């Protein structure tokens, strides 16, 4: 059966709400002094709301319980930092709970991402080594044939620069020609190689 709420009842409920909030704040101030009994009462009054908030963020019940315990332990340790002028005790506690829950989500995500990267790194890609070796040999033969279509000077410059690992300056010194000449030979030789191999740029 529904009950008609009068103005007096509504005012009484409001007054009780204010009284509860004031009680939480006074309890928190006593906890800041190291009062274990006040902490026990504060715990009983706030644990359910903290758990509810944390569970909305984490979903997983066991993790939510764990984080709730961490939050309330943090309340015990950091109670002296509570500033009544900046907000209610419940807001302070719930803000702490929300931050801790979000940190747990981020930590879990980072751990998952790290495990996934390690897992992917450890997966050895399947490949056919015989097939790969054959392809490399065929490609090597194609390049070798294409090199025969270059002038002797181009072939010599490319061999020193790309197979010998020499710089343009070193190739110029070895061939006793200016660096500009080496660059021209290399450029022209690479164009002819590209055309011979059918490579499109």
Q: What is the pLDDT of residues 121-134, one digit of tens each?
A: 666 555 567 777 77
pLDDT of residue 200: 65
Mean pLDDT of 165-178: 85
Secondary structure (DSSP) of the chain: ---PPPHHHHHHHHHHHHHHHHHHHHHHHHHHTT-HHHHHHHHHHHHHHHHHHHHHHH--HHHHHHHHHHHHHHHHHHGGG--GGG--HHHHHHHHHHHHHHHHHHHHHHHHHHHHHHHHHHSPPP--HHHHHHHHHHHHHHHHHHHTTS-HHHHHHHIIIIIS---HHHHHHHHTS-HHHHHHHHHHHHHHHHHHHT---
Q: Structure tokens of 138? A: 């065929």
Model-wide pTM > 0.85? no
pLDDT of residue 152: 82
Q: Is the pLDDT of residue 100 over 80?
A: yes
Q: Which of 24-28, 174-178, 194-198 has the highest mean pLDDT?
A: 24-28
pLDDT of residue 128: 64
Q: Is the pLDDT of residue 2 over 50?
A: no
pLDDT of residue 19: 43
Average pLDDT over the chain, rounded to an integer: 80
Q: Is the pLDDT of residue 80 over 50?
A: yes
């Amino acid at each position: 059966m529904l009950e008609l709420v009068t103005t007096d009842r509504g005012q009484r409920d409001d007054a009780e709400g204010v009284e509860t909030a004031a009680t939480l704040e006074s309890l928190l101030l006593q906890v800041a002094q190291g009062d274990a009994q006040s902490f026990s009462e504060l715990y009983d009054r706030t644990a359910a709301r903290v758990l509810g908030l944390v569970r909305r963020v984490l979903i997983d019940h066991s993790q939510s319980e764990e984080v709730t315990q961490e939050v309330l332990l943090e309340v015990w340790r950091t109670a002296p930092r509570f500033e009544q002028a900046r907000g209610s005790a419940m807001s302070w506690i719930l803000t702490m709970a929300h931050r801790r829950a979000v940190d747990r989500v981020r930590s879990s995500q980072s751990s998952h991402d790290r495990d996934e990267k390690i897992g992917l790194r450890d997966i050895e890609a399947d490949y056919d080594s015989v097939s790969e070796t054959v392809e490399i040999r065929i490609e090597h033969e194609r390049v070798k044939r294409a090199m025969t279509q270059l002038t002797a000077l181009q072939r010599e410059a490319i061999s020193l620069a790309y197979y010998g690992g020499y710089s343009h300056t070193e190739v110029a010194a070895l061939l006793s020609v200016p660096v500009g000449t080496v660059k021209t030979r290399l450029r022209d030789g690479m164009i002819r190689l590209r055309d011979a191999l059918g490579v499109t740029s």
